[in-house]
């Protein structure tokens, strides 16, 4: 039990007391939720808990107390597990030598699953960290930790359940579309929702799109809903399965989307019509697949225009725009002077995820390998 200064006020002034305390940085961390007012010993009064360091005789505080007919007192408060946030509890569990910046405080939520990226020094405490997150987040039923191991063929991270149910099949909502998935067998990143919407807003309705590495459809489905004609492909059979599930679940007409389960190059080379855009959302290796555009007209004589490409890429933090364009030009063996680069997000302290936006040069489509770029020092 600890004595804390509290504002004793009437129920009608609770909101004012909370707002005053927050505005002036007097609000105690014990009272995590703005709408929560600790009950006082009277049915007609409530109390707002302040930080212990509050200056009780400050002019500002006394003016507020007078205005609202409130009082300030020191009250013994019994603290228990419910009074502390998840990050405060985890901080108390971890050894002192672990820096405060390395306390687990944020995580991705996918349906009923909380997805953590624990560091090596967190692992001895992983079970209790997972249980704390379960306890403090009623919507969470499973807590998983991403392992370092990546599936070599389908490029999704392997993971383990550290608390809660061993249930990976879940549903999440992004940009008003529901996505069903087995989170352990497909790639999904909720932090990319803004990027998905950015691309959807850039592409004109009625466009024809090839989505080379579509996953379970975070680009393909909203584009099809918008009115585009989408050809969505993924090599991973589980991604392909849930792509088809999500098309049906969101009632997208089959005239607006066609699903494929092919290698990315085979998918593009087998297409026999013109198209406007190509999405290449496989940042670890998408640029390697750009060679599919070299001499593409030989495979697809119906290609009547140069398509626009959005190619995702991982690069270092030094000149990420320049290095991303150079990676694209190296594979195409041709300059792309009008290319632009969007910095999507930092995935690690020394790594940017970027999106290179460019139109495939006609010389590349005609056989750009014969016009190899002349590099100058």
Residue 246, pLDDT score: 98
Counted residue by residue, the chain has a size of 377
Closest CA to 258 of 236, 234, 289: 234
pLDDT (0 to 100) of residue 14: 81
Distance CA 129, CA 144 (A): 11
DSSP-based three-state secondary structure for 299: helix
**Helix count and strand count (H, E) for the chain:** 11, 17
- The answer to whether residues 323 and 316 touch, using CB atoms and an 8 Å cutoff, is yes
Task: Report the DSSP pairing between strands 157-164 and 142-150.
Answer: antiparallel
Predicted local distance difference test score (pLDDT) of residue 33: 45
Res 131: pLDDT = 96
pTM attached to this predicted model: 0.80
Sign of CA dihedral 362, 353, 222, 180: positive
pLDDT at 204: 97
Q: What is the mean pLDDT of each run of 10 residues along the chain (377 residues)?
A: 78 83 72 51 71 77 88 79 83 84 84 93 92 95 84 73 96 96 94 97 97 98 97 97 98 97 96 96 94 95 95 95 96 95 94 97 80 39
Half-sphere exposure of 280 (CA within 13 A, CB side): 31
Beta strands in the chain (DSSP E): 2-9, 38-39, 46-49, 71-77, 108-110, 113-116, 142-150, 157-164, 169-174, 177-182, 208-211, 229-233, 257-260, 277-280, 308-316, 340-348, 351-359
Query: How far is CA 129 from each of CA 79, 95, 120, 304, rounded to the nearest angstrom?
Result: 20, 13, 13, 56
Contact residues for 337 (Cβ-Cβ < 8 A; gap 6+): none
Return the CA Rg of the chain.
Answer: 27
- Beta strands 351-359 and 308-316: pairing type? antiparallel
The angle, 0 to 180 degrees and rounded to 10, between the axes of the packed helices 14-23 and 59-68 is: 170
Q: What angle do CA 173, 177, 181 make, to 5 degrees?
A: 60
Write down the pLDDT at residue 23. 83
């Amino acid at each position: 039990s600890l004595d804390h200064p509290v504002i004793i006020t009437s129920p009608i002034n609770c909101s004012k007391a909370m707002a005053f305390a927050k505005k002036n940085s007097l609000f105690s961390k014990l009272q995590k939720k703005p709408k929560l007012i600790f009950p006082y010993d009277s049915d007609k009064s409530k109390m707002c808990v302040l930080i212990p360091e509050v200056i009780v005789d400050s002019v500002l505080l006394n003016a507020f107390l007078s205005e609202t007919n409130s009082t300030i007192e020191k009250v013994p408060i019994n603290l228990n597990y419910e009074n502390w946030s998840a990050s405060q509890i985890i901080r108390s569990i971890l050894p002192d030598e672990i820096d405060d910046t390395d306390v687990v405080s944020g995580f991705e939520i996918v349906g009923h699953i909380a997805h953590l990226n624990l560091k090596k020094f967190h692992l001895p405490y992983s079970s209790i960290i997972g249980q704390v997150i379960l306890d403090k987040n009623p919507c969470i039923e499973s807590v998983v930790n991403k392992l370092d191991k990546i599936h070599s063929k389908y490029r999704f991270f392997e993971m383990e359940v550290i608390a809660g149910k061993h249930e990976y099949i879940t549903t999440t909502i992004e940009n008003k579309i529901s996505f069903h998935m087995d989170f352990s067998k497909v790639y999904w990143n909720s932090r990319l929702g803004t990027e998905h919407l950015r691309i959807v807003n850039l592409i004109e309705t009625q466009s024809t799109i090839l989505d080379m590495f579509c996953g379970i459809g975070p680009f393909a489905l909203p584009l099809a809903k918008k009115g585009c004609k989408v050809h969505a492909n993924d090599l991973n059979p589980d991604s392909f399965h849930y792509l088809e599930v999500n098309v049906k679940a969101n009632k997208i007409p089959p005239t607006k989307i066609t699903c494929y389960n092919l290698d990315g190059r085979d998918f593009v080379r087998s297409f026999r019509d013109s198209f406007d855009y190509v999405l290449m959302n496989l940042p670890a290796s998408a640029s390697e697949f750009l060679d599919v555009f070299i001499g593409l007209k030989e495979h697809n004589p119906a290609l009547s225009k140069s398509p626009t490409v959005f190619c995702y890429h991982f690069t270092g933090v030094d000149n990420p725009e320049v290095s991303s364009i150079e990676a694209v030009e190296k594979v195409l063996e041709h300059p792309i002077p009008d290319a632009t680069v969007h910095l999507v997000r930092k995935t690690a302290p020394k790594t940017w995820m970027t999106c290179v936006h460019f139109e495939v040069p006609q010389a590349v489509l005609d056989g750009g390998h014969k016009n190899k770029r002349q590099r100058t020092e």
